[in-house]
Structures are given as C-alpha cells and as structure tokens.
Amino acid sequence: MTQLRHDDGSDGAAGDGSPAGNADDPGALRLVPIGLVRTSMATKVEAPRQPAAASAETARIELLPNRNFEHALEDLAGWDYLWVIYWFHLNEGWRPKVLPPRSTTGRKGVFATRSPHRPNPLGLSAVRLERIEGLTLHVRGADMVDGTPVLDLKPYVPYTDAHPDARSGWLEDAARAAQAGTPPDPLGAWQVHLEPLAAAQADWVRQRTGLPLRERVEATLALGPQPNPYRRIKREGEAFRLAIRDWRMRFAVDGRELRVLEVRSGYRAARLATAEDPGIDAHREFINRWPSQAP
C-alpha cells in the first residue's frame, strides 16, 4: 500500500537517511510531500490536460520550510525544465481502462495513458522553470490543480529524456485516421483562428482576470472540435461551444480550421443578477461592455 503523509515530515523525513518504508506494513511505501503547487486552477475541469496545453499559465511550487530544501534547490536554477512528481490528491480509486480525450479508437489500458486515475495516483509533468525565489519555484506549464502535493523535483535532462522520434502507440491511430479522412483527427492538424471580436474579448478577459484565455482556447482546440467532456466541448446548433472555467467560446468548423466567433459568460442571467461568487464582477463588466453576449 502506498501512503501519503500530510505533515511537515519532521519525524523521520527529509535528509535523515531513513528508508522509505513503514515498519507496521512491510509492503507500504511512505511518501511525504515536499511542497504544494499553487495555480489559479481550483478544480480538475479547469486544469489543462497536459503541460503543453498550459504553457501560458504561471504557477508556483512552494516547498515546505524547515526541511533543508534551500540546500536541496541549489544548482537547479540552470535548468530550463523540471520534472515534477506529484500526487493526484483529488482522485479516489482508479480504472484499468480509461477513455483518453485524444483516443479515436476507444478505451485504453490505464498504463498506456497519462490518465490521473491510476492505482498509485502519481502525476508527472515537465514544467518550464522561470526562476527560484527562496523556497518558491516560479514555473509555466503546470497542469495540476491548486493545492496538489508535490513529492519530488528533478531536472529535465534533454540528452537523456528527449526522444523525439519515439513511437506514440495508440496516438498514432488517431493520426492515421485523420490522414485517411475518417474520424476527426485530434493531433494538431487543426488551425485555430480567433475572429476579431473573440480576440478582443479574450484579451479583455486576460487583462481583467489574469486568465490567458486565448492560449487556453488555442491549445484546447488544437486537438480538434469533436464534442468531448474532458475538453468541455458541446455542439450548439451549427456551431460548437467550448467551456474554459466560467467562460464559453462559440466556434465554427471550416475545413481544418476552427474559427472562434465570440466569448460569452458562462453564468446564467439569474445568477449573474444575484450571485456574489468571487470573480463574478468581471462577468458583469464583460456584459456591460459586450451587451450582445448577455446570457
């Protein structure tokens, strides 16, 4: 059994040379978080599906104090990317077969995917290291939700970690299907274009709320337009609707190009009138500015 201890690790943790075992249960492995991820994504649906889809997102990894981690961080600043190993703390249970968002050929064995629903819920993300300040690492490209416990950090070492010509398993089925003109290809052949209205609205949302909406839309739609609960895409008449946090984007499919037509608030009119949710003022201002986008 794998256990995650949520304490400051002061007994038998970091740097004391004790084995990562547990005397009561010889099969158990004891893991103690070294810190937490701090991002603006509070829930699983808000988090990007992989670091590459989050390259515009800034995040912090805050290491715990009083654990000698200042010394452990020495010499790390010279690396551009880090591997972050973490715990999918919001998931319970796991599934042997899962349906990945990119699959065009059905369910896949979980070990052949990067699904968060695993027997040991360990996450692995290569994030861009921007700078280190004390015990805080400023990074880009984090696909973890706020509060995710971090278990380890390692430098991303291109000469040994990067294998650009490696095969991609079932992801290649999707690419072949697209070439044959059969089901829609989620593998990046899609061009995403924001119409002037949508571009102005996305830029406004970024300025007003800090959410890099344009980058999130481009990264999500680059996988294709097909309705998908993971990517929160639905059909809406002739067009489609993509949800990113509490914003909705209407887009149209034009050959291999996806045209994002407009941004709308995800709030219903009644809630918009009365709710006191954090962040709702930005939606009210948005609708004052673009009244035709009122729900």
Ligand X SMILES: C[S@@+](CC[C@H](N)C(=O)[O-])C[C@H]1O[C@@H](n2cnc3c(N)ncnc32)[C@H](O)[C@@H]1O
C-alpha of 42 from chain center: 11
**Is residue 185 within the footprint of ligand X (CB under 6 A)?**
no
Segment near ligand X (CB under 6 A), from 57-65, 123-131, 157-165, 242-250? 123-131
Cβ-based nearer residue to ligand X, 148 or 201: 148
**Is residue 141 within the footprint of ligand X (CB under 6 A)?**
no
- Each residue of 212-247: b (16+ CB within 10 Å) or e? bbbbbbbbbbbbbbbebeebbbeeeeeebbbbbbbb
278: its two tokens:
């954090």
**Is residue 228 within the footprint of ligand X (CB under 6 A)?**
no
Q: Which of 2, 22, 50, 55 binds ligand X (CB under 6 A)?
A: 50
- Sign of the C-alpha dihedral, residues 46, 210, 197, 186? negative
Nearest distance in Å: CB 102, ligand X: 10
Q: Which of 31, 47, 139, 260 binds ligand X (CB under 6 A)?
A: 47
**Is residue 95 within the footprint of ligand X (CB under 6 A)?**
no
Closest CA to 171 of 95, 98, 108: 108
Cβ-based nearer residue to ligand X, 20 or 124: 124
What CA–CA distance (Å, rounded) separates 202 from 197? 9
Going by C-beta distance under 8 Å and a sequence separation of 6 or more, which residues neighbour residue 119? 94, 110
**Is residue 218 within the footprint of ligand X (CB under 6 A)?**
no
**Is residue 9 within the footprint of ligand X (CB under 6 A)?**
no
Nearest distance in Å: CB 81, ligand X: 13
Contact residues toward ligand X (CB under 6 A) are 44, 47-51, 88-91, 114, 116, 123-125, 143-145, 148
